[in-house]
Amino acid sequence: MQNPPSQPTGSVTPSKVIHMRNVGPEISQNDLLQTCQPFGMVSQLILLRSKNQALLQFQELTSAIQMMQYHQNQQVNIRGRNIYMQFSSHQELTTTQQPSDGQTPTSRILLVTIQNPLYPITVDVLSQVFSPFETDPRGTVEKIVIFTKQAGLQALVQYSNPMAAAHAKGALDGKNIYANCCTLQIQFSNLTELTVRENSEKSRDFTNPTLPVSRAPPPMYGQLAPTQQMMGQPGQFPYGADKSCLIVSGLAERMDCDRLFNLFSNYGNITRIKLLHNKSGVSLVQMGDNMQANMAMSYLKSLRLFDSPIDINYSRYSTISPPGVNSDGRTKDYTNSPLNRFTRQDSKNFRHISPPTAVLHVSNLAPTTAIEAVNAHLGQHAPVVASRMFTETQGQRKQALVQFATVEQAAEVICLLHNSPLEGQNIRLAFSKNSI
């Protein structure tokens, strides 16, 4: 049982800084921002992971007061966890109040990770995104550098002062550059000054136009520009060939190769999956290409499955060897599996890629199957909250939307029951963007 707050809201002087407790590891920075930003602009956010706590500072005192008053009678609950809040004894966050992960709240340089970058990300693109936060007195964007690391595509954005950086971070963290892709994850950098040696599509010093200009072609992360390209269409990607293999940890005992396939195949074709012998709960998943691997990692990282949050990173291995005679089912090859969803470049599945949701799309149903049968079949694992049957306009094929109480339950149903038989048909399950 979770303990109530140690002191009531009004027992300390109101402050722009809110102290949050019971912030579990499954709760992200973006989760907290989405809870707080409706009340006003957030200038700083520090996650204290070792203590399951957070410190969040609003730009205006009135914003902090409004949020505390609103939640006096309405418990904050994020990802199933009650969050307890109170005014901090600090009126401002200072450089001595730094989180253990090395973020520096007063830095003027932002470290930006771009997840699921389906379209070209250049200096000009990032300049358009981050420049609206440079108006006086907040400062200007001085330098931008784009690079790739183990975490994926990243950039450093330097402002002329920390206030502009804090404003941009609070407004843009968790937002998409383009619809449903190119998601920004932003933290403060430890650096004090960026070094730019040339002005190009990947680096720019806006304060020094005399630097050498590179004429190298811009990086291509998708085949066409956003106005020309269907959302989600695969193309080239800046990572090397070794970035198509992922290492997945935190898996429950009941997860096997096929169940991992059922989940990860929502975001790309699967080549092979291997359950590691010497590491319990750890598996390698090789995707069809590096764009699909990045998409799977972006959407599934920290997802809870069977009461265990999974973690996903790029593997140091570039490929998984084909299963041998004595693989005991711990390595499986899915290269030619008819269940891979993206074997055709024009597949409509690209248009329907969705992050994990509590609503599942059910297809490949028999013409005579009723919604009651669908509910009973999927309800074997978790109770169905709502559902509806519909018919596809073209082809007149019956389909259904089925909603569960949580995203975790829906993901588990996909793992367990995707491609399972129902009234003579093997049904197909996928996360749905639609509501019931």
Per-residue pLDDT band at 373 (split at 50, 70, 90) = very high
Asked if the bond preceding 137 is cis, omega within 30° of 0, the reply is yes
Residue 414 lies in a domain: yes
CA pair distance 50, 187, nearest whole angstrom: 18
Residue 153 lies in a domain: yes
**In the block, residue with structure tokens 């998708």:** 222
Residue 340 lies in a domain: no
Q: What are phi and psi of 343, to 5 degrees?
A: -75, -25
Q: Which residues contact 72 (CB under 8 A, 6 or more apart)?
A: 9
Do 116 and 201 lie in a common domain? yes
Domain boundary among 151, 180, 205: 205
Do 260 and 325 lie in a common domain? yes
Percent of the chain whose pLDDT exceeds 70: 81
**Residue 8: pLDDT above 60?**
no
Of residues 301 and 423, more confidently modeled: 423
Mean pLDDT of 159-166: 83
Of residues 204 and 299, more confidently modeled: 204
For 360, the 3-state DSSP assignment is: strand
**Residue 384: pLDDT above 80?**
yes
- Cα dihedral sign, 24-30-33-38: negative
Split into its structural domains, the chain has a count of 4
What is the overall mean pLDDT for the chain? 81
Do 133 and 187 lie in a common domain? yes
CA pair distance 109, 101, nearest whole angstrom: 16
Lowest mean pLDDT, pick from 152-166, 168-182, 372-386:
168-182
**Residues in the chain, overall count:** 436
**Residue 41: pLDDT above 90?**
no
Among the listed residues 300, 128, 294, the one whose alpha carbon sits nearest the alpha carbon of residue 221:
294
Residue 189 lies in a domain: yes
Prediction pTM value: 0.50
Host domain of residue 36: 9-87
Q: What's the confidence (pLDDT) of residue 110?
A: 94
Lowest mean pLDDT, pick from 29-33, 157-161, 172-176:
29-33
Residue 103 lies in a domain: no
Per-residue pLDDT band at 164 (split at 50, 70, 90) = confident
Mean pLDDT of 5-23: 71
Lowest mean pLDDT, pick from 97-106, 177-186, 212-221:
97-106
Per-residue pLDDT of 237-282, as tens digits, reads: 333 334 789 999 999 999 999 999 999 999 889 999 999 988 899 9
Among the listed residues 263, 286, 290, the one whose alpha carbon sits nearest the alpha carbon of residue 355:
263
Q: Of the segments 6-15, 181-190, 258-267, 325-334, which one has the largest average pLDDT value? A: 258-267
Residue 399 lies in a domain: yes
Q: What's the confidence (pLDDT) of residue 391?
A: 85
Q: What are phi and psi of 156, to 5 degrees?
A: -115, 130
